[in-house]
Amino acid sequence: ASRVMVASRNYADFANEATFEIKKCDLHRLEEGPSTTVVMTREEGLHYYKTMQTIRRMELKADQLYKQKIIRGFCHLYDGQEACCVGLEAAIKPTDHVITAYRAHGFTYARGVPTREILAELTGRKGGCVKGKGGSMHMYTKNFYGGNGIVGAQVPLGAGIALACKYFDKNEVCLTLYGDGAANQGQIFETYNMAALWKLPCVFICENNRYGMGTSVERAAASTDYYKRGDFIPGLRVRTDTAFFCGGMGNTFLFKGPILMELQTYRYHGHSMSDPGISYRTREEIQEVRSKSDPITLLKDRMVNNNLASIEELKEIDVAVRKEIEEAAQFATTDPEPPLEELGNHIYFNEPPFEVRGPNQWIRYKSVC
């Protein structure tokens, strides 16, 4: 009881909101960018912190499960880049749309999928968010279109989603994400052209984590100003420690046509779990980023220094998150695998059942929509 009273008394002492000065965004073909003075409420800060910490712990658990050979196949982790998906999600509506590449676990969670369904999908179980059929690279939920494994191929799809928003006269946008490694793909520039011609409500977002697989941006691109790559499309470049506050500010300009954003970020793991991540960069480089630019630590320090939360309160969130992830992992390792006949299900939407041949050519299953 005394602990509750202390917590209640401390809660009353916290500020409801705080004002922050953030670095000015680099702009391209824009007369004005996001404000450098922003307000964050205590409630928003706690939500951002818990969401980022959950994604961080979920990815670290995925690392552990992969090394135990419980997760198989491809697995691309998002730890270090949490500010991107959390900041972007904070700036859009649930009815808006998101499509991204294969480093998708963070966006899947930010779009509302529980951690147990994400980890169960990674382990190929029935309780996964796509019933164990998608794995690491192919996760979906309402208004979230993956998780796409072909480098850069999701960008034209994102423009197609934006075209549908405009065609049906919906007040919605599509965030279309890709990495710096995909930024040199030809279909991306074709899509820029179409989006500009048709004035599509599309935010093209390059998550620049400085390495495309094992190649640094300096070795891969003649120009690393990815926010200028749209040429005739307005662009802005945002640091990840400010992504909370202006991650979705492209909405200001959207209905005049598309906009291009570059989010400067960093991944702590290698490109995938098969990449140790230290053959093309040093351990010292990774540690320096962790110590100076970690998005969770930066937010924590800002909240504590501005009396939005206490260290003890944030530690309690950490404990609760660890418990949630452990329970999710327990589910992901005990839930049954999907039965063989599931191979024939969900091939097409709203189609009459038809026969599907399984791995044994003499066995056929009836499809289920």
Show Cβ contacts of residue 32 under 8 Å, excluding neighbours closer than 6 positions: none
What's the pLDDT score for residue 356? 86
Residues 203, 242, 186, 202, Cα dihedral to 10°? 0
What's the pLDDT score for residue 368? 83
Name the strand (E) or helix (H) holding 355: strand 355-357
What's the pLDDT score for residue 123? 98
What's the pLDDT score for residue 35? 83
What's the pLDDT score for residue 365? 85
Instruction: Provide the whole-model pTM.
Output: 0.92
Name the strand (E) or helix (H) holding 53: helix 42-67
Residue 147: cis peptide before it, omega within 30 degrees of 0: yes
Q: Render each residue's pLDDT in the chain as its tens digit; 369 residues.
A: 444 444 444 667 899 999 998 888 999 999 988 888 889 999 999 999 999 999 999 999 999 999 999 999 999 999 999 999 999 999 899 999 999 999 999 999 999 999 999 999 999 999 999 999 999 999 999 999 999 999 999 999 999 999 999 999 999 999 999 999 999 999 999 999 999 999 999 999 999 999 999 999 999 999 999 999 999 999 999 986 655 554 334 444 455 689 999 999 999 999 999 999 999 999 999 999 999 999 999 999 999 999 999 999 999 999 999 999 999 999 999 999 998 888 888 888 888 888 888 778 788 888 887
Residue 191: both structure tokens together: 């899509």
What's the pLDDT score for residue 246? 44
Name the strand (E) or helix (H) holding 314: helix 311-334
Fold designation for 17-272+281-338: Rossmann fold (3.40.50)
What's the pLDDT score for residue 244? 54
Residue 43: both structure tokens together: 């409630």
Whole-number Å distance between alpha carbons of 202 and 133? 29
What's the pLDDT score for residue 186? 96
For residue 216, what are the β-bridge partners? 211
Domain limits of the chain? 17-272+281-338, 341-368
Name the strand (E) or helix (H) holding 302: helix 295-305
How many CA atoms, within 13 angstroms, populate the side-chain half-sphere of residue 23? 12
Q: What is the pLDDT of residues 108-146, one digit of tens each?
A: 999 999 999 999 999 999 999 999 999 999 999 999 999
Whole-number Å distance between alpha carbons of 107 and 174? 14
What's the pLDDT score for residue 251? 45
What's the pLDDT score for residue 6? 45
Count CB atoms within 10 A of the CB of residue 353.
12
What's the pLDDT score for residue 250? 40
Please write down the HEC assignment for all residues of 260-294: EEEEECCCCCCCCCCCCCCCCCCHHHHHHHHHHHC
Q: Do the Cβ atoms of 190 and 181 come closer than 8 Å?
A: no
What's the pLDDT score for residue 307? 97
What's the pLDDT score for residue 255? 53
Q: What is the pLDDT of residues 61-92, one digit of tens each?
A: 999 999 999 999 999 999 999 999 999 999 89
- In degrees and rounded to multiples of 5, residue 26 shows phi and psi of -75, 135
